Structure 1
Amino acid sequence: MDAGRLLGWLVLSALAPGAAHLRAGRRRTGLVLLGCYAVGLLGVLAVVLATGDLGALIGSALDDTWLTAITVGSALLGVAWFALIVHSFVVLRPGTLRQSEQIVTGTLAGLLAVGVLAPFAVVAQTGWASRQALNSIFKDSQPDPQAQGEKLTERRQDPWAGRERVNILLLGGDADDHRPGVRTDSMNVASVDVKTGNTVLISLPRNLEEVRFRPGTPMAEQFPSGFRLPTDPGGGRSDLLNSVWEYSDAHPEIFGGKREQGAEVLMDTIGYTLGLDVDWYALVNMWGFARLIDAIGGVTLTVERDVVFGKYNEGLVKAGTRKLKGADAMWYARSRTNSDDYIRMRRQRCVIGALLDQADPATVLSRFNQVAAATKELIQTDIPRAMLSDLVPLALKVKDAKVTSIQLVPPLIQTYDPDWAKIRKLTQKAVRESTGAQPVTTTAAPAPAKTSTGAPTSTPTGTPTKSPKKADDSPTQGLTDGCGQL
Structure 2
Amino acid sequence: MRQAKEPASAGAVLGWLVLAALAPGAAHLRAGWRKTGLVLLSCYIVGLLALLALALTTDNLLGSLTENSWLTSIMVGTGVLGVAWFALIVHSFVVLRPGRLPQSGQILSGTLAGLLAVVVVFPFGWVTQAVWTSRQTLNDIFQETPSDAPSDGAAAAEKPEDPWTGRQRVNILLLGGDGDDDRIGIRTDSMNLASVDVKTGNTVLFSLPRNLEDVRFRPGTPMAQRFPTGFRLPPDPGGGRSDLLNSVWEYADSHPEIFGGKQHQGAKVLMDTIGYTLGVKVDWYALVNIWGFARIIDAIGGITITVEQDVVFGKYNEGLVKAGTRKLKGADAMWYARSRTYSDDYTRMHRQRCVLGALLDQADPATVLSRFNRIALATKELIKTDIPRGMLKNLVPLSLKVKNAKVTSVQFVPPLISTGYPDWEKIREIAGKALRDSARADSPVAASASPSSSPSASASPSPKKSAAAKKTGQNPAKGLMEGCGGPL
Q: Name the TM-score, length of structure 2 as normaliser.
A: 0.89
The whole-number CA distance in structure 2 between the counterparts of 1:151 and 1:5 is 61
Whether 2:333 is the aligned partner of 1:326: answer no
Whether 2:271 is the aligned partner of 1:267: answer yes
Whether 2:306 is the aligned partner of 1:302: answer yes
The whole-number CA distance in structure 2 between the counterparts of 1:298 and 1:142 is 34
Spell out the pairing of 1:47-196 with structure 2 (5 A cutoff): 47-51=54-58, 56-141=60-145, 154-175=158-179, 181-196=185-200
> Taking structure 1 as reference, are residues 255 and 204 closer, same or farther at Cα in structure 2, changes over 3 Å only?
same
Q: What's the secondary structure of 1:187's corresponding residue? A: strand
- Answer yes or no: is the 8 Å Cα contact 1:94–1:102 preserved in 2: yes
Query: 1:24 aligned to 9, 26, 31, which one?
Result: 31
Amino acid at match of 1:479: L
- Answer yes or no: is the 8 Å Cα contact 2:146–2:386 preserved in 1: no
Query: 1:284 aligned to 258, 267, 288, which one?
Result: 288
Alpha-carbon distance, 1:470 to partner: 4.3
Amino acid at match of 1:209: E
Query: 1:36 aligned to 36, 43, 46, which one?
Result: 43
- Answer yes or no: is the 8 Å Cα contact 2:145–2:389 preserved in 1: no
> Taking structure 1 as reference, are residues 246 and 338 closer, same or farther at Cα in structure 2, changes over 3 Å only?
same
Whether 2:16 is the aligned partner of 1:15: answer no
The whole-number CA distance in structure 1 between the counterparts of 2:252 and 2:91 is 65
Alpha-carbon distance, 1:51 to partner: 3.4
1:451 equivalent in structure 2: none
The whole-number CA distance in structure 1 between the counterparts of 2:327 and 2:105 is 51
Spell out the pairing of 1:373-412 with structure 2 (5 A cutoff): 373-412=377-416
> Taking structure 1 as reference, are residues 364 and 432 closer, same or farther at Cα in structure 2, changes over 3 Å only?
same
Query: 1:313 aligned to 317, 342, 346, which one?
Result: 317
Which segments of 5 or more consecutive residues in structure 2 lack a partner in the other structure? 1-6, 444-469
Q: What's the secondary structure of 2:304's corresponding residue? A: strand
Alpha-carbon distance, 1:218 to partner: 1.2
The whole-number CA distance in structure 2 between the counterparts of 1:63 and 1:177 is 27
Q: What's the secondary structure of 2:120's corresponding residue? A: helix
1:208 equivalent in structure 2: 212
Whether 2:247 is the aligned partner of 1:247: answer no
Measured against aligned partners, the alpha-carbon deviations of 1:177-199 in whole angstroms (never above 9, x if no partner) come to: 99763110111110111111111
Measured against aligned partners, the alpha-carbon deviations of 1:81-140 in whole angstroms (never above 9, x if no partner) come to: 011101111111111111110110011111111111000000000000000111111112
Deviating beyond 6 angstroms after TM superposition, the runs of 4 or more aligned structure 1 residues are none
> Taking structure 1 as reference, are residues 226 and 176 closer, same or farther at Cα in structure 2, changes over 3 Å only?
same
The whole-number CA distance in structure 1 between the counterparts of 2:11 and 2:291 is 56
Amino acid at match of 2:104: S
The whole-number CA distance in structure 2 between the counterparts of 1:25 and 1:152 is 57
Alpha-carbon distance, 1:142 to partner: 7.2
The whole-number CA distance in structure 1 between the counterparts of 2:102 and 2:479 is 71
The whole-number CA distance in structure 1 between the counterparts of 2:351 and 2:176 is 13
Q: What's the secondary structure of 2:116's corresponding residue? A: helix
Measured against aligned partners, the alpha-carbon deviations of 1:208-231 in whole angstroms (never above 9, x if no partner) come to: 111111111111111111111111
- Answer yes or no: is the 8 Å Cα contact 2:307–2:325 preserved in 1: yes
Alpha-carbon distance, 1:6 to partner: 1.7
Amino acid at match of 2:176: G
> Taking structure 1 as reference, are residues 177 and 305 closer, same or farther at Cα in structure 2, changes over 3 Å only?
farther
The whole-number CA distance in structure 1 between the counterparts of 2:441 and 2:27 is 63
Amino acid at match of 1:39: V
Q: What's the secondary structure of 1:186's corresponding residue? A: strand
Q: What's the secondary structure of 1:401's corresponding residue? A: coil
Alpha-carbon distance, 1:153 to partner: 7.8
Percent identity, aligned pairs only, is 73
- Answer yes or no: is the 8 Å Cα contact 1:408–1:423 preserved in 2: yes
Q: Which moved more, 1:95-104 or 1:173-182?
A: 173-182
> Taking structure 1 as reference, are residues 32 and 142 closer, same or farther at Cα in structure 2, changes over 3 Å only?
farther
The whole-number CA distance in structure 1 between the counterparts of 2:384 and 2:180 is 14
Alpha-carbon distance, 1:200 to partner: 0.6
Amino acid at match of 2:351: R
Q: Name the TM-score, length of structure 1 as normaliser.
A: 0.89
Q: What's the secondary structure of 1:156's corresponding residue? A: coil
The whole-number CA distance in structure 2 between the counterparts of 1:393 and 1:355 is 18
The whole-number CA distance in structure 1 between the counterparts of 2:136 and 2:43 is 31
Q: What's the secondary structure of 1:171's corresponding residue? A: strand
Query: 1:355 aligned to 359, 364, 367, which one?
Result: 359
Q: What's the secondary structure of 2:159's corresponding residue? A: helix
- Answer yes or no: is the 8 Å Cα contact 1:426–1:473 preserved in 2: no
1:474 equivalent in structure 2: 475
Amino acid at match of 1:223: F
- Answer yes or no: is the 8 Å Cα contact 1:432–1:438 preserved in 2: no
The whole-number CA distance in structure 2 between the counterparts of 1:358 and 1:390 is 23
> Taking structure 1 as reference, are residues 152 and 115 closer, same or farther at Cα in structure 2, changes over 3 Å only?
farther
Matched pairs, number: 450
The whole-number CA distance in structure 2 between the counterparts of 1:282 and 1:304 is 29
Q: What's the secondary structure of 1:140's corresponding residue? A: coil
1:344 equivalent in structure 2: 348
Which segments of 5 or more consecutive residues in structure 1 lack a partner in the other structure? 440-468
> Taking structure 1 as reference, are residues 282 and 103 closer, same or farther at Cα in structure 2, changes over 3 Å only?
same
The whole-number CA distance in structure 2 between the counterparts of 1:271 and 1:400 is 26
* RMSD of equivalent CA atoms: 2.1
The whole-number CA distance in structure 2 between the counterparts of 1:332 and 1:5 is 59
The whole-number CA distance in structure 2 between the counterparts of 1:37 and 1:257 is 62
Q: What's the secondary structure of 1:20's corresponding residue? A: helix
Measured against aligned partners, the alpha-carbon deviations of 1:260-305 in whole angstroms (never above 9, x if no partner) come to: 1111110011001110011110111111111111111111011100
Q: What's the secondary structure of 2:326's corresponding residue? A: strand
